Structure 1
Amino acid sequence: MRRLDGLLQGDHLGLLPGPGTESAEGREYLPGDDVRAMDWNLTARMPVPHVRDRIADRELETWALVDATPSMDFGTGSVEKRDLAVFAVGAVAFLTERTGNRVGAHILHGGGLRNVPARSGRPHVLRLLRALLEVPRGEPGGAERPRLGPGAELMLRTTSARHGLAVVVSDFLEPVESWERSLKLLAHRHQLLAVEVVDPRELTLPDVGLLPVVDPETGRRRDISTANPRLRERYALAAAEQRSLIGAALRRAGAAHLRLRTDRDWIRDIVEHVLAQRRTAAAAAAPAPAAAPLRGGAG
């Protein structure tokens, strides 16, 4: 009558419909068993045919790849992009945190890559969030930064082979071709959520006269005359094209796309995304309507 909430009690759907995806115990073949479940290795050692039962995935393992490189140390809204990334990871962790579920993270920052092993429990979630808050800020133009593509490939190699949830939180300002294939491989194994963190000044320039800007990755400095309307228009068009390319690449990779802005209510945006995903899942699981009977006789 209702979905049970707890350890190994069907809190999550399996990857495939049917009895399950994980191998279980072998047993003798009985009339009516699916021949596709035949265990030929076990049958070869036994005098009678054997099949291998399967069990469904019941525990959820969530991994987050969090971009904490210098480009995230920027914000003109109520928070910086780095803070918004921590909020997003915290929201996903608390939404998925249940008995038996595990949460881990790979953090890309100026000093390299930090791994937080996947563990269960609310105290572990709080330790993970503190680790994100304590990541040191990188200096502009410092050492070579870790990249999103290799980070996604590392997460693919180190995560469990079982179907789980992978969350990538970044501004995705690196070239699309450097991370699209890696995210596509990640989406083949796990359900993938891409959280794009955006600041409004990355989309449009205000008219504030001469504006000194610094590239946080390279340290390059340049003075821009924002009083030029054609410059502001070209900037807005280039930014819109860049975001369009990012969105298209995430769709091709098979990721659910959530965009958070530093000048918006991030809680509202996450709630609306979760509700939309639930409606999509419910619509996909609903049975197809029966075809209407044909009327009229043969001509």
Structure 2
Amino acid sequence: MTGPPLSMPLAPDEAARAEAVLAKLQLLVTRKLDGLLQGDYAGLLPGPGSEAGESREYRPGDDVRRMDWPVTARTTLPHVRRTVADRELETWLAVDLSASLDFGTAKWLKRDLVVAAATAMAHLTVRGGNRIGAVVGTGSGVPQKEGTRGWWRRKAEAKAEPPPAAPVLRLPARPGRKEAQALLRAIAGTRIRPGRTDLGALIDMLNRPPRRRGVAVVISDFLSPVEGWARPVKKLAVRHDVLAIEVVDPRELELPDVGVLTLADPESGMLHEVQTSDDGLRRRYAEAAGEQRAAIARALRAAGASHLRLRTDTDWLLDMVRFVAAQRHARTRGTTR
């Protein structure tokens, strides 16, 4: 049994909540981001475009990957090649809606931040004929039962009956605000299923079929094993400007001291009782969480992707505005990150 398809309508109360959250997010984004990218722009994200332009002398901080070697050899002075804005560019979103995203202990659920990030990217990019599309992945519909049996038995079961592939909703890239609104409604209305999205496979879908250079945005909590998605992100960054938006809840970073706490794994359905009064346990949890987030940041940096972290307990829109402003500042200095 694989559960309901992604296209199945949500329950009336769930659909009403999704629509209300989306309307609130769109209002917030419009108020804060309107005018932020007015005027000439280079590329979809504030940063360099993809079309070759004139050369200029190299300045400290310039991206060495844009060195203009013929001009450098001719003038004996290092030069970099400027880039100019594309006028009809394409943005693709890889949206991870695993069961772990249906969680939140602060102002927002993590899935609300996923929709918020998609809304902000649509607002920033859909203008001047630019197109935006998305691939949305959620769990397989079958809870993972790690830890409930011996490893040898789980291995035998995996050989006998492989788990069903996680469903993916592909939303074609189209220009126009009306089409962008429809895309956001489809993302907000996606039914989250048990299990974990294969994030690497989801990101690989942005490489097929091959597309002209544009922007690829990966929105996830990146809780899947790093080795499963690091290579696809690196491959994607060879051709596209990649932005990784990491969604985090504070309880994933540290545990509060609230006594015995019963925790449910949203991906496997397993229950765990944790004695949060144990100082050693809380310390080990925080250290492990810190190491995990550091590994995620290292993998994204090594892949050449820009990295934006949004938290459910902070002003995510202010974080995004600061990120965009930093990108604009980097562009004026001739850098890419």
TM-score of the superposed pair, with normalisation by structure 1: 0.76
Determine if the alignment matches structure 1 residue 208 to structure 2 residue 258.
Answer: yes
C-alpha contact 1:187 1:254 (8 A) present in aligned 2: yes
Aligned counterparts, 1:1-299, within 5 A: 14-18=49-53, 57-110=86-139, 112-139=167-194, 145-158=196-209, 160=211, 162-284=212-334
Letter in 1 for 2:209: T
Q: How far off is 1:110 after superposition?
A: 2.5
**Separation (CA, whole Å) in 1 of partners of 2:197 and 2:290:** 26
3-state SS of paired residue (2:127):
coil
What is the total number of aligned residue pairs between the two structures? 239
**Separation (CA, whole Å) in 1 of partners of 2:91 and 2:213:** 10
**Separation (CA, whole Å) in 1 of partners of 2:105 and 2:50:** 41
Post-superposition CA distance 1:75-114 (Å, at most 9, x none): 0011100000100011011011112100000001135110
TM-score of the superposed pair, with normalisation by structure 2: 0.67
3-state SS of paired residue (2:192):
coil
Q: How far off is 1:215 after superposition?
A: 1.4
**Separation (CA, whole Å) in 1 of partners of 2:133 and 2:264:** 33
C-alpha contact 1:70 1:217 (8 A) present in aligned 2: yes
> In the superposition, relative to structure 1, how do residues 214 and 4 fare at CA in structure 2: closer, same or farther (>3 Å)?
closer
Letter in 1 for 2:323: H
Q: Tell me, which stretches of 5 or more residues in structure 1 are unaligned?
A: 20-54, 286-299
C-alpha contact 1:13 1:58 (8 A) present in aligned 2: no
C-alpha contact 1:172 1:246 (8 A) present in aligned 2: yes
C-alpha contact 1:199 1:263 (8 A) present in aligned 2: yes
Post-superposition CA distance 1:136-174 (Å, at most 9, x none): 1213xx5xx4311011111111352x1100000000001
Aligned CA RMSD, in angstroms, stands at 2.1
The share of aligned pairs that are identical, in percent, is: 51
Structure with greater Cα Rg = 1
Post-superposition CA distance 1:246-290 (Å, at most 9, x none): 0000000100000000000011000000000111111016xxxxx
Q: Tell me, which stretches of 5 or more residues in structure 2 are unaligned?
A: 1-37, 55-83, 141-166
Q: How far off is 1:133 after superposition?
A: 1.2
3-state SS of paired residue (1:158):
coil
**Separation (CA, whole Å) in 1 of partners of 2:131 and 2:274:** 47
Partner of 2:78: none
**Separation (CA, whole Å) in 2 of partners of 1:12 and 1:220:** 44
3-state SS of paired residue (1:284):
coil
**Separation (CA, whole Å) in 2 of partners of 1:250 and 1:146:** 18
The structure richer in helix per residue is 2
> In the superposition, relative to structure 1, how do residues 13 and 203 fare at CA in structure 2: closer, same or farther (>3 Å)?
closer
Q: How far off is 1:58 after superposition?
A: 2.6
> In the superposition, relative to structure 1, how do residues 246 and 159 fare at CA in structure 2: closer, same or farther (>3 Å)?
same
